[in-house]
Amino acid sequence: MLFDLDDTIIYWPTPPEAAWESVVNRFTGEADGLKPEKLLGAINKTRTWYWQDRERHRLGRLDLHVARREVVRLALKSLDIDNAPLAVKIADTFTAERQQNEALVPGAIATIKKLLKRGIRLALITNGGSEMQRAKINKFQLAPYFENILIEGEFGCGKPDERVFKHTLDKLNVAPSAAWMLGDDLGRDIAPCRALGIFSVWVNGTTDEPQDTNTRPDKIIKSIAEIPGLL
């Protein structure tokens, strides 16, 4: 079984929208009377614009510290505010609190142990920079559970590039037809695996049907804790 990391094994109890709002409310006073709701609206608009571009997404996720600083800087600029130190303060506070807030999905370790007990071999594939992703893996002591860990920033490319899946399967010496992929991202986790013949399980907290009708997972679950019951 191939596992995604973020929002599959690790999650954030506080949604990003609420986290941004909390940080903005604390620091907007340093922007010459700017109302928090106006800055929050600008940040949300800029975030959407920034991350919807595939190439910006690829580069930005390799260093989220820098990407978030740029998002806030551009949001302030859109409001005719040139205040780089404030942009850094807001972005870095968000990043620090995001890291503090991260947690294991309930039942994640118990599920992983059940799978290992049944002789199922596990691998981890995660996008993002090496420093940030390794920190999460170390924080939650995940490495011993996985035979292979592939991090985009270390490997040189990330999902949805089919090379990350082929490399991982080669490391495990497993055929695509004998593998499952579990992840929360339809475009990066599910779509490439469907094309490769890997059984795809979409981990979606609401179990809604995907809006992208071109990408249909083989199975939809709310949490990886459901996996043992599918076997």
**172 shares its domain with 199:** yes
- Domain end among 72, 101, 130: 101
**111 shares its domain with 204:** yes
**69 shares its domain with 92:** yes
Using an 8 Å Cβ cutoff, are 64 and 132 in contact? yes
Residue 175 is part of a domain; what is its CATH number? 3.40.50.1000
Using an 8 Å Cβ cutoff, are 173 and 148 in contact? no
- The secondary element (H helix, E strand) that includes residue 92 is helix 84-101
Range of the domain at 27: 16-101
User: Which pLDDT does position 180 carry in this prediction?
Assistant: 97
Q: How far apart are the first and last CA of the chain?
A: 12
**92 shares its domain with 122:** no
**23 shares its domain with 94:** yes
Among residues 178, 188, 197, 182, which one has the least CA distance to residue 152? 188
**Residue 90 backbone phi and psi in degrees, to 5:** -65, -50
Using an 8 Å Cβ cutoff, are 201 and 217 in contact? yes
User: Which pLDDT does position 213 carry in this prediction?
Assistant: 66
| Count of domains for the chain | 2
**147 shares its domain with 63:** no
**213 shares its domain with 108:** yes
**95 shares its domain with 107:** no
**55 shares its domain with 97:** yes
**139 shares its domain with 223:** yes
- Domain end among 60, 83, 101: 101
**116 shares its domain with 206:** yes
**114 shares its domain with 209:** yes
Q: Which amino acid is at 114?
A: K
Give the span between the Cα atoms of 142 and 172, in whole angstroms.
18
User: Which pLDDT does position 205 carry in this prediction?
Assistant: 78
DSSP letter, residue 186: I
Mean pLDDT by 10 residues, the chain (231 residues): 97 94 93 90 97 95 97 96 95 96 96 97 98 97 98 97 97 96 95 95 81 82 93 88
Distances (CA, A) of 146 to 103, 181, 199: 19, 14, 19
Q: How many CB atoms lie within 10 A of CB 23?
A: 24
- Domain end among 101, 127, 143: 101
190 exposed, middle or buried (CB, 10 Å; 0-12, 13-18, 19+)? buried
Distances (CA, A) of 216 to 109, 116, 179: 27, 28, 17
230, two tokens: 């599918």
